[in-house]
Structure 1
Amino acid sequence: MVLEIVNIDAADAVHLEEQVTQALAKLTPGDVIDYSLANPDTLTKYKTAAQISHKVYETVSGWLTEGAKIVELCQKGDSLLDEEIQKVYKGKKIQKGVGTPCTISPSSYVTPFTPLLSDPEDSVLELKAGEVVKIQLGAQIDGFGAIVGGNVVVPKKGEKAADVKIEGREADLLLATHYANELLLRLMVPPGLLAAGTEEEKKKAGSEKAPSQTKIIQLVEKVAAAYDVKVVQHTTSWMFERNEIEGKKKIILSPAADSTKGEGSAEVGEVWGVEVGMSLGSGKVKDLDKRSTLMRRTAITYGLKRPSSRQVLSEIVKKFGTFPFSLRQLDDEKAGKVGVIECVRNGVLREYKPAADSDGAAVSRTFTTVAITKNGLTKLAAPPALDLEKVKSDKKIEDEEILKILERPLAKSTGTKSKNKKKKKKPAKKAAATADEGEESEEEDSDDE
């Protein structure tokens, strides 16, 4: 991580630089730890964090019901995250903690929502039956975060979310999100990685260029158009690194004309957080007149003036490192709201401003943490697969190019666990209805790098 140091005496800066240089000069090859996926321990830590994220996500999903208070659900989710994290790597001097707090976002919200008990208006917000709610949370082990996010249609009291049948525009929204996500994941598999045939054919496939950001955007927008929805503006997928969930590469869907564009493509050995957001409205985003409660520490250091600011920042560094946190998780929520002001103003903390669809329309969002190895793409932390039998829409994907991409596998199959699976190739027209059949076996069969 590169640190940007501001507001520091020049002599101190020179002294600090000399200390860092001397420390680096003393390092030997044996002192340098390989944190890439080439180190099996790295993938193990990602998978451990992912198992925790999955377990907590599924539990929180089961809590969602008409009339439940969002702040109470988030509190319970955070407590469960902490509880599960403490069960792993016991007795080892290893950093571990929450990678993203439990966030539960109402229907029209675009950004993850994590209300505070001390905010009278937000603390009383309740879930409404039939609305599409987004859950996002994650754990991190040794700086390797696994974040998962998905959508749940809130059931009526006495019902279970799994039993809710989804029709109409909500079905269009969820199906568009599902297939756009499956499409994007397949477009992220490096060209030729899963190629079959002769060596010459493999070499030819490997020489192809990865799809450009423009091409990715066009294809995802075609999926959205098939279901008459819009891609949420600025939806961003990031390359993950150790202690960093917003790395040097990113894919931005529906960027504004004057905004930052995506850059780079996924490669073997990388981990990505893949996000897809769809809207029944315009897809354009507006900031809400609400307090920012979700934040994360940046790489900027600054000589904070207020003791309260320094105290809060010290707690943040100790508890959360550079991962997102909620003000609700601080020891003193009210003091925390005051202490972060100077930190945000000087760039030491980044705030995630609450935002929603500009039309107030329903929004969906999925977030999947994936690893790309020599055997293909593996979903480390992913929301449960959409039950296509319970989601009914009169719309479908008919674009031949997209249907063919959806037929592609995500990873190589060793055949050890899929001998009883049907191998008959699906017609292109049916691919959109069965794109994720067999993915589970492909992911299980892929060998860890």
Structure 2
Amino acid sequence: MAESTEVDYTLNNPDTLTKYKTAAQISQKVLEAVTGKSQALVIAAVEGIKILELCQKGDELLEEEIAKVYKGKKITKVLTTQWFLYPSGVAHPTTVSPSSFVTPYTPLVSDTEEAETTIKAGEVIKIQLGAQIDGFGTIVSDTIIVAGKESADGVVEGREADLVHATHYANELLLRLLLPPGLLASGTDEEKAKAAAEKPPTQSKISSLIEKVAKTFDCNVVENTTSWLFERNEIEGKKKIILSPSGGVKGDGSPEVGEVWGVELGLSLGSGKVKTLPQRPTLHRRTTTTYILKRPSSRQTLSEIVKKFGTFPFSLRQLEDEKAGKVGVVECVRGGVVRQYEPAGESDNAPVSRLLTTIAITKNGLTRLAAPPAPDLSKFKTDKKIEDEEILKILEKPLARSTGSKGKKNKKKKKTTKKASGEEEEESDAE
């Protein structure tokens, strides 16, 4: 009888987590370079730089780092004698969203006016990108305030500072609310069983608690902010959690051990309501819909999309011929084989933030695979603080247990860090 060659792509397979972590290292490295938080700066988000230029350089860095993965190494295919290299690529192109933009934004070279858009001093911008290895994608987004609004001592004050604090704490709260009940419980077997029997918080409860944090800093949650279950070749899985839902949309499901999620948090200094922007949709993604395209240009565009990007998001500027791609993608969208992401912004034109963290949930807790670096909150002055006891109690909880299996060397890396809310957390590999 022939042996099965079916591959286990869940986190039960150690190779899966390794691929996620490899992709995450690339995503993290490039994000820090683009945001200017890396020591090895090539290009960074500073006043006067063109958004297009920043996006292009971010994509170049992504491709350079991805090309290094497993380069020249032969990896045995399961139960065969064939050799192959893990297919890898960009899981999300570099996007740079101006202050009031809610969705990822990436202008085209051929759209002359938008191609000249530059970053302004004091602007709240969101940078998002991602890499994938063998279909296991990690996407990360960070929000930064472009230098120019800080005081002489380098401290940012005012509403932008409120937004930074609100975004940080709301994100930390959201991550803790996604931990399966009882996963990190301690005590007797009976106490652990009781904790594990608890139901996870409802999506309504999650949304309510996040809104409380936002209101503390006079902010609002951006409507329909969505976190998704990630799977192989899929960044919009069967489960999703929606904050501040509107228009009849609703989430479905809760995170479980063995899953990877893309956790998104978006806040606004305005109402949090969203409007469609007049900019051209430039971010697209192939769907699973089958449709016979009539135009040769459309078929050629789709063929390139399938070959280069699979089912991951891409920008039209990443196509070999951007102008031809703009024409060819029209029928692809109309036929439903390609989805376009409509540009959206804050209805009051107020600044918004967005963080996106790719997490893995294992038996030892939650691991941030690719995450925006924590801000130095001492550089953002606000007179507001969280006083809600329920929220403070949740923020004090760790995200993962310390495995204690890597000796004294790693213990030095696991220093307890105190944050401005009094929160304490021990980081762990949680494998």
Q: TM-score, with normalisation over the residues of structure 1? A: 0.88
Q: 1:242 aligns with which of 228, 232, 236?
A: 232
Report the counterpart of residue 62 of structure 2 in structure 1.
Answer: 81
Please name the residue that 2:300 is paired with.
311
Distance 2:270 2:292 in 1: 44
Deviations 1:303-349 (A, max 9, x none): 00000000000000000000000001000000000000001111111
Offset of residue 94 of structure 1 = 2.0
Counterpart contact for 2:28–2:370, Cα < 8 Å: yes
Aligned residues: 407
Matched, 1:148 2:140: yes
Question: Any idea what SS the aligned residue of 1:146 has?
Answer: strand
Matches within 5 A, 1:212-223: 212-223=202-213
Partner of 2:333: 344
Instruction: Tell me the SS of whatever aligns to 2:421.
Output: helix
What amino acid maps onto 1:250 in structure 2? K
Match of 1:380 among 366, 369, 375: 369
Q: Structure 1 runs of 4+ off > 3 angstroms?
A: 415-424
Distance (Å, rounded) in 2 between the aligned partners of 1:65 and 1:420:
32
C-alpha displacement of 1:31: 1.2
Matched, 1:395 2:384: yes
Distance 1:411 1:360, change over 3 A: same
Does residue 1:227 correspond to 2:217, yes or no? yes
Letter in 2 for 1:333: E
Q: In the alignment, does 2:5 pair up with 1:40?
A: no
Structure 1 stretches lacking a partner, 5+ long: 1-25
Give the alignment partner of residue 331 of structure 1, picking from 297, 306, 320.
320
| Cα deviation digits, residues 324-376 of structure 1 (max 9, x gap) | 00001000000000000001111111111111000000000000000000000
Partner residue in 2 for 1:168: 158
TM-score (norm 2): 0.91
Q: Which one has the bigger helix percentage?
A: 1
Given residue 198 of structure 1, which amino acid in structure 2 is its aligned partner?
A: T
The 10-residue stretch of structure 1 (346-355 or 84-93) with the greater mean CA deviation from structure 2: 84-93
Residue 196 of structure 2, aligned match among 206, 214, 222: 206
Tell me the CA shift for residue 155 of structure 1: 1.5
Mapped partners of 1:29, 1:113: distance in 2: 47
Q: Name the SS for the 2:179 alignment partner.
A: coil
CA contact (8 A) 1:155 1:164 kept: no
Q: In structure 2, how many angstroms separate the alpha carbons of the residues matched to 1:44 and 1:299?
A: 27
Where does residue 301 of structure 1 map in the other structure? Answer: 290
Which of these residues, 49, 56, 59, is aligned with residue 68 of structure 1?
A: 49
Q: Partners in 2 of 1:32 and 1:421 — Cα distance?
A: 38
Q: Is the contact made by 2:416 and 2:425 (CA closer than 8 Å) also made in structure 1?
A: no
Task: Spell out, residue by residue over 1:53-90, the C-alpha distance to the aligned partner (whole angstroms, 9 max, x if none).
Answer: 01100111111111100001100110110010000022
- Check 1:311–1:418 CA distance in 2 against 1; reply closer, same or farther (3 A cut): same
Pick one of 119, 131, 136 that aligns with 2:123: 131
Cα separation, partners in 2 of 1:87 and 1:203, compared to 1, 3 Å: same
Q: Give the corresponding residue for 1:190.
A: 180
Asked if the contact 2:92–2:130 (Cα under 8 Å) also holds between the matched residues in 1, the reply is yes
Question: Structure 2 counterpart of 1:433, which letter?
Answer: S
Residue equivalent to 2:79: none
State the shift of 1:124 in Å.
0.6
In structure 2, C-alpha distance between the alignment counterparts of 1:296 and 1:311, rounded to whole Å: 16
Report the alpha carbon displacement of residue 443 of structure 1 after superposing the two structures with TM. 2.5
What is the root-mean-square deviation of aligned Cα atoms in Å?
A: 1.9
SS at match of 1:433: coil
2:376 alignment partner, SS class: coil
Name which of 239, 249, 252 aligns with 2:242: 252
1:14 is matched with none
CA distance in 1, matches of 2:60, 2:155: 31
Q: CA deviation at 1:422?
A: 7.1
**Alpha-carbon shift at residue 120 of structure 1 (Å):** 1.6
In the aligned structure 2, how far is the partner of 1:294 from the partner of 1:423?
40
For the 8 Å contact 2:403–2:428, the answer to whether it is kept is: no
Partner SS state of residue 295, structure 1:
strand
Task: Label 1:423 to 1:312 Cα distance change in 2 as closer, same or farther (>3 A).
Answer: closer
Q: Which runs of 5+ in 2 are unaligned?
A: 37-43, 73-83
Give the residue type in structure 2 aligned to 1:368. T
